[in-house]
Amino acid sequence: IKRLHLLLTVKESAMDVPTNLDARRRISFFANSLFMDMPSAPKVRHMLPFSVLTPYYKEDVLFSSQALEDQNEDGVSILFYLQKSIQKYFLFLGFLVDEWKHFLQRVDCNTEEELRETEQLEDELRLWASYRGQTLTRTVRGMMYYRQALVLQAFLDMARDEDLREGFRAADLLNDESPLLTQCKAIADMKFTYVVSCQQYGIQKRSGDHRAQDILRLMTTYPSLRVAYIDEVEEPSKDRNKKIEKVYYSALVKAAVTKPDDPGQKLDQDIYRIKLPGNAMLGEGKPENQNHAIIFTRGEGLQTIDMNQEHYMEETLKMRNLLQEFLKKHDGVRYPSILGVREHIFTGSVSSLAWFMSNQETSFVTIGQRVLANPLRVRFHYGHPDIFDRLFHLTRGGVSKASKIINLSEDIFAGFNSTLREGNVTHHEYMQVGKGRDVGLNQISLFEAKIANGNGEQTLSRDVYRLGHRFDFFRMLSCYYTTIGFYFSTMMTVWTVYVFLYGRLYLVLSGLDEALATGKRFIHNEPLQVALASQSFVQLGFLMALPMMMEIGLERGFRTALSDFVLMQLQLASVFFTFSLGTKTHYYGTTLLHGGAEYRATGRGFVVFHAKFAENYRLYSRSHFVKGIELLILLIVYEIFGQSYRGAIAYIFITFSMWFMVVTWLFAPFLFNPSGFEWQKIVDDWTDWNKWISNRGGIGVPPEKSWESWWEKEQEPIKYSGKRGIVLEIVLALRFFIYQYGLVYHLNITKHTKSVLVYCLSWVVIFVILLVMKVIPSIHIFTVSVGRRKFSADFQLVFRLIKGLIFITFISIIIILIAIPHMTVQDIFVCILAFMPTGWGLLLVAQAIKPVIVRIGLWGSIKALARGYEIIMGLLLFTPIAFLAWFPFVSEFQTRMLFNQAFSRGLQISRILGGHKKDRATRNKE
């Protein structure tokens, strides 16, 4: 009633509402959170002490001046982008274009040139940009708000009336004149510890890396900050056979107090140095980085914060309340062992992909976590800013497991570990922490590949097995669906499409489909067609957006949720989610089949760039393109042999969702690629593709430089797979041979015979084609190697005559087949559709039994065949893209689709690029 009275009686002036949308969001959430159910906060001296731990490897600490000025291929630097764009990657949604002007006003400068004249102001510029990127500086600043909040709250706890009348100012924290402030700082330092585990800090410091200087600067700026690292030193060996041995220490340092008269004084000071039995980095990097530094944390609570997160001052004021949850029994039985809190995804403004991913992640970290914790009781730890009961986990295996490969998704194993040991994982809505996400399509795909690999390893782990045996029936089902079950169901969905198409193909080729379609019982099947049409629309990825709609509706109203949903569909959200379906399926299935999960670095840099065609091909060839072409061939064959007795409407209803999935899997990477249909970039991509596909591999040649190196790397999972995986790979490849068997008996020249000799003859034709493909490259290699030394012109002439003769022979054979056995054009097309997948099946079998193929000397032929297939697939993908790039309106449409939010707020990417180039030209002229 009081709140309703307040809403009805208080009038807000438009002048009092912040123009900054992020400021509005933070104020509204903080105000609403005060009405949520949270424990009462004790005094600071009575609160539970806690620590924050952040693992750091080699990411950006602070943007350098050079990094801010470096330009991408479109001539846009990070600083220029931050200055000009309204919608910014790595920025909160809604920063206004005049924020740059506000910054210049704060530093009393009128222009950027005036700003750069002073070194101190140059540092302010670097900080301004770094606070808007996913940098360690941003994370440290956010976490150190905890100390500032505790000092303020301790001041309010202990201040007398005259102290309150004088007031508390943030500037007072910088001096030690007030005994009360000194006491407040001491209490805050007793209750809060922040440790950043900079794994490579020692190496960076010795090598003179600028990141070590930036880390030291952070320690100087925040004197209570502690940095842990693994120090590798050489010491005299106690072994007589060795003079020197490497010794590893886990070290903790802080900023040293420098003296003006001692220029050689060490800038950082060791606090602890613990000798290790060996190198601590034995398993996965991030969990090992946490495990070696956890001994330096203090208190009863431990918050794990990733490098791409930040915090807000107003949210840190509620930390005392949150820690009180450790003293409350949840469900009336257990004290919590992990306190979960919600996140705000602050990325997602530069493009439609960023928006999709941000909304999807927001629904997962809010409404998803809420339901997992209550009523399902199966919430674990998902890498969020959860707070661990430090003493509970230190005595039960730590906050993350680090075994190589199996613990790739190390975060969730902390939740498994806690739940198996009778811990309780909760979720609380009244505090939130900022988090950044990858928003370029390639970065998103790498992230989802890593998560799918991790879920594949979870499926094989003992932890999930033990959970399944100890949960009751309902928690077991909930745990299954919310962990590995989601990925298994996704994989089954895609498998169902394969089974459906191969099943329909069997019905068509065997004649059963015609009998069923023309039978009297099945003539009036309109209800069945309506049902098929409805399920097609369900499969388009609309339901993937349902949790997003619910979350947006709860947070901002259902009218906003509906409008956002419609806008997402207009920006092809269904294409994005259908494409993600293929990513999850491929990497989860590959891990189950062969193992070999690996960490995939996605990067947190400036991602508004054009990905080259060869890069997209390397990333999506096996996961999407090959599967999409296979489904495309099945759909075409299904249409060819079923059109005589089936109506077009029925075919559309049955296969519409599958055609949508095929087109999405083949062309989504180019559709969501900035400047993907710009003609000049298409020309450059084709040149780069030709160079990559023709380069020879070898030792030391990376996959990015040579097709051979990439092809060999793609086969590594099979190399380490067991016998079951190899056998299953061969069994799956047999589907291409069965498919060929069905087609060869439907040719016009074989329709009157069902003899097995027809199938055998088809294999003879295949081997002849493979032999020709083998002979031509061999002749070419012989000509190049020998002909360069002597008779070069004669050999080239002979080579061209042989190629011409083979071409004439091929044309003659086709003419003879058309003239004598009356082979039709459709027969030729069907032969191509039959033999191309068969050759791919032979490749898969050869790769599975590579040692045997190498032993008999045919691996070079297999490599040549594989290269031919890659060239054909590349041409199939590149041709429609190049055709569309001829039309300028296609590029305009793509830009509008990718950057629609930016357009709606007045940002035009082309004007940014054009304006920047114009500015550069003007400066050069001057």
Three-state DSSP string of 443-512? HHHHHHHHHHHHHHHHHCCHHHHHHHHHCCHHHHHHHHHHHHHHHHHHHHHHHHHHHHHHHHHHHHHHCH
Residues 125 and 142 in one domain: no
Q: State which of 447-461, 521-535, 555-569, 760-774 shows the largest mean pLDDT.
A: 447-461
Least Cα distance to 652 among 631, 641, 638 occurs for 638
Average pLDDT (331-347) is 88
> Parallel, antiparallel, or unpaired for β 225-236 and 244-255?
antiparallel
Q: What is the pLDDT of residues 12-38, one digit of tens each?
A: 666 677 777 788 889 999 999 999 999
In a domain, residue 187? The reply is yes
Angle between helices 145-158 and 136-143 in degrees, nearest 10? 10
Residues 472 and 505 in one domain: yes
What 8-state DSSP symbol labels residue 117? Answer: T
pTM for the structure as a whole: 0.88
Residue 454, pLDDT > 60, answer yes
Nearest 10 degrees: Cα torsion 53, 136, 278, 270: -80
Residues 41 and 69 in one domain: no
Ordered alpha helix ranges (H), 672-753: 679-694, 707-714, 716-719, 723-744
Could you tell me the CA-to-CA distances from 637 to 318, 398, 631, 874 in Å, in that order? 63, 56, 10, 22
What percent of the chain has a predicted confidence (pLDDT) above 70?
83
- Predicted local confidence at residue 790, as pLDDT: 46
Domain boundary among 437, 457, 472: 437
Total domains, the chain:
5
Q: What is the pLDDT of residues 577-633, one digit of tens each?
A: 889 999 999 999 999 998 878 887 776 665 567 889 999 999 999 999 999 999 999
Residues 368 and 410 in one domain: yes
In a domain, residue 517? The reply is yes
Residue 386, pLDDT > 80, answer yes
Domain boundary among 134, 159, 192: 134
In a domain, residue 195? The reply is yes
CA angle, residues 517, 522, 524, in degrees to nearest 5: 115
> Parallel, antiparallel, or unpaired for β 225-236 and 192-198?
parallel
Q: Which residues contact 616 (CB under 8 A, 6 or more apart)?
A: 442, 669, 670, 673
Residues 227 and 332 in one domain: yes
CA pair distance 317, 527, nearest whole angstrom: 60
- Predicted local confidence at residue 535, as pLDDT: 55
Q: What is the pLDDT of residues 625-637, one digit of tens each?
A: 999 999 999 999 8
Residues 692 and 574 in one domain: no
Residues 387 and 512 in one domain: no
Amino acid at 730: I
Give the domain range for residue 636. 438-674
Burial status of residue 519 (CB atoms within 10 A of its CB: 0-12, 13-18, 19 or more): exposed
- Predicted local confidence at residue 236, as pLDDT: 83
In a domain, residue 515? The reply is yes
CA pair distance 227, 406, nearest whole angstrom: 29
Residue 188, pLDDT > 90, answer yes
- Predicted local confidence at residue 262, as pLDDT: 54
In contact, 415 and 338? CB cutoff 8 Å: yes
Residue 529, pLDDT > 70, answer no
Q: What is the pLDDT of residues 143-186, one digit of tens each?
A: 999 999 999 999 999 988 877 777 776 445 445 567 888 899 99
CA pair distance 307, 383, nearest whole angstrom: 11
In a domain, residue 826? The reply is no
Average pLDDT (115-142) is 86
Residue 695, pLDDT > 50, answer yes
Residue 783, pLDDT > 50, answer no
Instruction: With cut-offs at 50, 70 and 90, classify the pLDDT of residue 788.
Output: very low
Residues 214 and 281 in one domain: yes
| Weakest mean pLDDT among 342-351, 356-365, 515-524, 747-756 | 515-524
Bridge partners, 343 (sequence order): 433
End-to-end alpha carbon distance in the chain:
67
Residues 146 and 195 in one domain: yes
Question: In 201-295, where do the E strands start and end?
Answer: 225-236, 244-255, 268-275
Instruction: With cut-offs at 50, 70 and 90, classify the pLDDT of residue 97.
Output: very low
More confident call, 899 vs 392:
392
Amino acid at 665: W
- Predicted local confidence at residue 676, as pLDDT: 85
Could you tell me the CA-to-CA distances from 845 to 504, 581, 713 in Å, in that order? 25, 26, 17
CA pair distance 171, 498, nearest whole angstrom: 66
In a domain, residue 809? The reply is no
Least Cα distance to 252 among 51, 392, 398 occurs for 51
Residues 548 and 599 in one domain: yes
| Weakest mean pLDDT among 107-121, 511-525, 828-842 | 511-525
Half-sphere exposure in the Cβ direction for 396 (13 Å, CA): 19
Residue 534, pLDDT > 80, answer no
In a domain, residue 757? The reply is no
**Mean of per-residue pLDDT scores for the chain:** 82
CB-based burial, 305-339: b 16+ in 10 Å, e otherwise? bbbbbbbbbebbbbbbbbbbbbeeebeeeeebbbb
Whether omega for the bond prior to residue 375 falls within 30 degrees of 0, making it cis, is yes
Question: In 116-239, where do the E strands start and end?
Answer: 192-198, 225-236
Residue 229, pLDDT > 90, answer yes
In a domain, residue 126? The reply is yes
Residues 430 and 445 in one domain: no
| 3-class DSSP state of 923 | helix
| 3-class DSSP state of 847 | helix
Q: State which of 86-95, 341-350, 467-476, 741-750 shows the largest mean pLDDT.
A: 467-476
Residues 151 and 45 in one domain: yes
Instruction: With cut-offs at 50, 70 and 90, classify the pLDDT of residue 88.
Output: very low
- Predicted local confidence at residue 416, as pLDDT: 94
- Predicted local confidence at residue 89, as pLDDT: 33
Residue 649, pLDDT > 80, answer no
Domain boundary among 715, 740, 774: 715
